[in-house]
């Protein structure tokens, strides 16, 4: 976060975030999923992370262009996410565990709303993501089934 705290609402949100992080339960992954995650991320470097950030920024600033330029990739991705191969994969298991963890830990109900109050730029980012998700859902309605 690159923004200073300038209001009592932001200070309160900051304290909520700290309390959430201090009290959040540990994420429990089986040993085989931990190993998979470590092996899968072993070669990720700073440049890879920067590239992901730039691609994400581009996609939310230009959602229509991004969707049209990446139509084939998105369709292959959606087909893969619906495949039995994917549903039996370690990454599917990890995503399922993370989804459940985020629902039960208060991540969506406590952490995200507090982040939106704390950071104007994060709040704007979330609004942009909502627009992109709406456009994606309109163009690919089957994606809604994958996110539940």
What's the pTM value of the predicted model, to 2 decimals? 0.83
Taking only the tens place, the pLDDT of each residue in 36-55 is 999 999 999 999 999 999 99
| Tens digit of each residue's pLDDT (9 = 90 or more) over 123-133 | 999 999 999 99
What per-residue confidence (pLDDT) applies to 146?
77
pLDDT tier at 13 (50, 70, 90 boundaries)? very high
pLDDT-derived band at 116, boundaries 50, 70, 90: very high
State the average pLDDT for the chain.
93
- How many angstroms separate the CA atoms of 108 and 111, rounded? 6
Q: How far is CA 120 from CA 10, 42, 126, 135, 142, in A?
A: 10, 33, 10, 23, 32
Which pLDDT does position 99 carry in this prediction? 94
3-state secondary structure of 68: helix
pLDDT in the model for residue 3: 87
């Amino acid at each position: 976060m690159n923004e200073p705290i300038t209001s009592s609402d932001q200070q309160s949100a900051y304290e909520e975030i700290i309390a959430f992080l201090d009290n959040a339960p540990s994420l429990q992954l089986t040993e085989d999923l931990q190993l998979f995650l470590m092996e899968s991320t072993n070669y990720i470097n700073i440049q890879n992370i920067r590239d992901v950030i730039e691609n994400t920024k581009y996609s939310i600033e230009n959602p229509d262009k991004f969707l049209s330029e990446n139509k084939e990739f998105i369709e292959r991705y959606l087909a893969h996410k619906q495949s039995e191969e994917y549903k039996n994969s370690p990454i599917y298991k990890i995503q399922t565990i993370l989804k459940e963890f985020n629902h039960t830990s208060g991540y969506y109900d406590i952490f995200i709303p507090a982040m939106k109050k704390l950071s104007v730029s994060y709040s704007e980012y979330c609004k942009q993501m909502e627009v992109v998700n709406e456009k994606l859902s309109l163009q690919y309605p089957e994606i809604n089934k994958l996110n539940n």
